[in-house]
Structure 1
C-alpha cells in the first residue's frame, strides 16, 4: 500500500503492535530514560514480534517510573547494574550521554548481554579500541554489539550506494543540521565532560557517509573550521563545523554540520561527484567515444521517512578520439525514492519492509537477526566502529579542540 506523506509519517511515528510477541522474544533493558530511546527502540519494538522492552532504569527513579508508564515498560529498576544482573534480560540499549557509553557498554558485554549502542559509540578511538576488542567477543556464543547508525539500514541508503561507483568518486559534499531552537546551550551536546560537540552529534553521520561513499578510510584531515563555545562546562564544544578530508588519489570529502542551524529544518544531503569516464557505445563511429560525468545526490538521508529523494545527473559528451574535440553534449537527469527494499530494487528487493517503517525499524530487524544467528544484509562491524572513531579523532585534533575526554572507568 502507498501512503500519503502525512499518513506515512504519522503511522511511522506512532507504531501500533500488529502481532503477538513470540515466546522466544528478546527482552531489552534500557539504561536511562533518554528521549532518543523512543526512536531507537520503543517505537520499532511495537512492530517486532521478537522484541519486548522489559525494564528501564534512570538516575531519577521517579523519572524512570514515568518513562515506563508512558512506554508500557513492565519493570523499573533502581540502578543500571540491576538490569545487567538480571538473567531474564537478553539485550541492553545504551542511550546515555556519550561519556557514559564506554563504561556501560563494557559492563553490559561482560555481563553477557547483547548491546545496541547509540552513536557515537564512545568518546574517542582509545575507548573504541578497548570496547570493540574485548576478549568476550572471541568466546563461543559471543555477545552482539551494534553502533546504532540507523540511516545505514534504510532502503534509500542501499539504493544510493548502488548508484555510485566508489573508485570513480572524486569529490563528496555532505550536509546535516539541527535548528537552533531544538538544542539549547544546556543540552548534553554542549557539555565537554559528557563528550559533547557537533562532530560527535550530527557530524558523525557526515563522517560515516564519507567513509561509505569512498568505501575507504581518509588518509588525512586537511582542515577543520569549527565554531565552539569557550566558557565553563561548554568549553571546546563545537556547535558548527566544516571539515575537509583527503582520500586516496587526492580525492576530497567535505562535511558541514551545525547544531545551531536556521529556524527551519533543512534536510540532510550528500553529493558524490564522479570522474569523467568512457561509456561503451557500439553505435558510434570508430573515431568517436562517449563520455559521462555522474553526480548523485541523496536528500534527506538521515531521517528518510519524513522526505527523501535521490537525484542522478549525468553529463554526456561525444568527442573525437583523435584530437579530443567535443562533438555533442547533453545532460540527463533522473530521480528516485525508496521507502522499502522492493522500491529500491537490486539484490535485496525481496527483503521485508513497509512504507511506514522508519530507519530504526530496519535497524532493529538486523540487530535481532544477528542475535538470532540469522543472515545480515547490512551491518556495522566492530572494526567499522573503531575506524569511525579514528576519523572523529582526526577532525578534533585538526580543529585544535582536542579529543573528547577518555573515561576514568577501568576495564577489569
Structure 2
C-alpha cells in the first residue's frame, strides 16, 4: 500500500496557492519529458508557475499548452526570452540545441534549468559554464538537470562509502527495445544523439561522484551503433571502462535497445579490504573487512529502490592465515530525508516527491538566495562532458558535433 500511495501522490500532488513572487517559467519546446521533469513538480511548489511555452509548430504548442494548462503560447523561443515577465526557462530541447538556447537565455538574464546532458561536448561546456554573465552581479542561475542526484537514496548511498576506500565501481542502465525507435532524437547524430548521451550520462556521473574525481583515461569503449547511412555514429549500446587515480577502475554500460522487461538501473561499489577495529580479539589477531554496496534503482528511486550492503569479514592471525570468515548482508531504503537519517534527517521533502521535485526545490532555493543542500556546479558539468568525450573518442565514433551557434 505504501508503494501505491507514494506513486499516486507523485502524479497527484497537493496544489498549494502560488506566492505573489513565484518564479514564472517559460518552456522551450513541447518535449515529452517536460510534464515529468517540471510541470508535475511545479504543482506542489508554491513558488513556481509554468507561464508560457513555444515550439517549432505553433499548433502543436497550442495543443500542448491546453493539455497542460499553460496560459501563454509564444511564436518563437526568442519571444520567451524577450518576455520580461518570464523569470526562468526550462530547456528540454534535443541535445544539439542545448548550447545555443542556454547561452541565449543566460544573455537574456533568465535562470536556466537545462536538461542533461548539458551540451554536446566539452568544448561547448567550457564556453557555456564560463560565460561572463554567470559571474556578474545578480547573475542568472544555471543548473544541469541531473535529477537523480537530488534524491534521498542517492545521497544516502554516497554517504555510506568513503571515496578513498573504493576499489571498483560498476553501473548499468537500460531502456527496453519497445520504448526505443530509430526515429527518436537519440539516434540523430546531428542533434548529438547516442546511448552515452542518453541514459549513459547517469552511469558516467555515478562513477565520477563515487570516486570523487575524474577518470585519467577511458581504457575501452565498446559500442553497438547504426551504420545505415542515416543514423551513423549513433550508439544504441555501450560498455566503457575507465581508469581512475590510483589504478582503480569503473565500468559503465547502457542500452537503448534492451530486454523486453524493464530492469532498474543500478550501481555497485566494491571497497578495498581494510583493517576493521575489534577490541574483543585475542592478541595476534586482526579483523579485516571488504564491502560491496549496490543501489538498485539509481535513476528513478521514487518508484522503487534498495541499497544492499554486503560486509565480507575475515579474522587473521599474525602469519596471515584466516581464522574465521563470514558475510553480513543488510539493506536500506530512503524515500524521504528522514529515512536517510543522519545529516539529512531534517531536510524538507515528502514521500511523494520525485527526484525532479527535489531538484526543483533546490533550483528555486538558489534563485531565491537561500541555502542549497545539493547542487550540480559548473566544474561538475564540465567534467561530465569531458568524460563523455573521452568515451566517444575511445569508441571510434568521436565526440558529438558542436553547434554552429556563436
| Same topology, TM > 0.5 | yes
Deviations 1:89-133 (A, max 9, x none): 000000000000000000000000000000000000010000000
Local SS of the residue matching 1:249: coil
Deviations 1:363-382 (A, max 9, x none): 00000000000111100001
From 7, 10, 20, the equivalent of 2:8 is 10
Q: Distance in 1 between matches of 2:192 and 2:13?
A: 32
* Moved segments of 4+, more than 2 Å: 13-16
Aligned to 2:260: 263
Q: Distance in 2 between matches of 1:236 and 1:281?
A: 55
Q: CA deviation at 1:6?
A: 2.1
Q: CA deviation at 1:4?
A: 2.0
TM-score (norm 1): 0.97
Aligned to 2:241: 244
TM-score (norm 2): 0.99
Aligned to 1:160: 157
Deviations 1:273-296 (A, max 9, x none): 000000111111221111101000
Match runs of 1:255-334 below 5 Å: 255-320=252-317, 322-334=318-330
More moved, 176-185 vs 228-237: 228-237
Deviations 1:202-246 (A, max 9, x none): 000000000011011000000001000112331100000000000
Native 8 Å contact 1:193 1:233 kept in 2? no
More moved, 226-235 vs 50-59: 226-235
Deviations 1:319-372 (A, max 9, x none): 11x201110111111100001000001212101111111000000000000000
Q: Distance in 2 between matches of 1:141 and 1:233?
A: 45
More moved, 203-212 vs 345-354: 345-354
From 23, 26, 29, the equivalent of 1:26 is 23
Local SS of the residue matching 2:230: helix
From 131, 135, 138, the equivalent of 2:132 is 135
Native 8 Å contact 1:54 1:73 kept in 2? yes
Q: CA deviation at 1:138?
A: 1.2
Aligned to 1:120: 117
Q: CA deviation at 1:84?
A: 0.1
Q: Distance in 1 between matches of 2:223 and 2:376?
A: 28
Q: Distance in 2 between matches of 1:116 and 1:232?
A: 34
Match runs of 1:175-214 below 5 Å: 175-214=172-211
Q: Distance in 1 between matches of 2:283 and 2:66?
A: 74
More moved, 194-203 vs 343-352: 343-352
Deviations 1:114-156 (A, max 9, x none): 0000000000001000000000011001110000000000000
Q: Distance in 2 between matches of 1:232 and 1:88?
A: 45
Deviations 1:148-199 (A, max 9, x none): 0000000000110111111011110101000111111100000000100000
Q: Distance in 2 between matches of 1:65 and 1:183?
A: 26
Match runs of 1:100-119 below 5 Å: 100-119=97-116
Where structure 2 has 5 or more consecutive residues not aligned to the other structure, the ranges are none
1:61 paired to 2:58: yes
From 356, 374, 380, the equivalent of 1:384 is 380
Q: CA deviation at 1:10?
A: 2.5
Aligned to 2:68: 71
Instruction: Report the number of matched residues.
Output: 406
Where structure 1 has 5 or more consecutive residues not aligned to the other structure, the ranges are none
From 204, 212, 215, the equivalent of 1:215 is 212
Q: CA deviation at 1:270?
A: 0.2
Native 8 Å contact 1:31 1:96 kept in 2? yes
From 349, 364, 368, the equivalent of 1:353 is 349
Local SS of the residue matching 1:196: coil
How large is the Cα RMSD of the aligned pairs? 0.8
Q: CA deviation at 1:16?
A: 4.1
From 381, 395, 399, the equivalent of 1:399 is 395
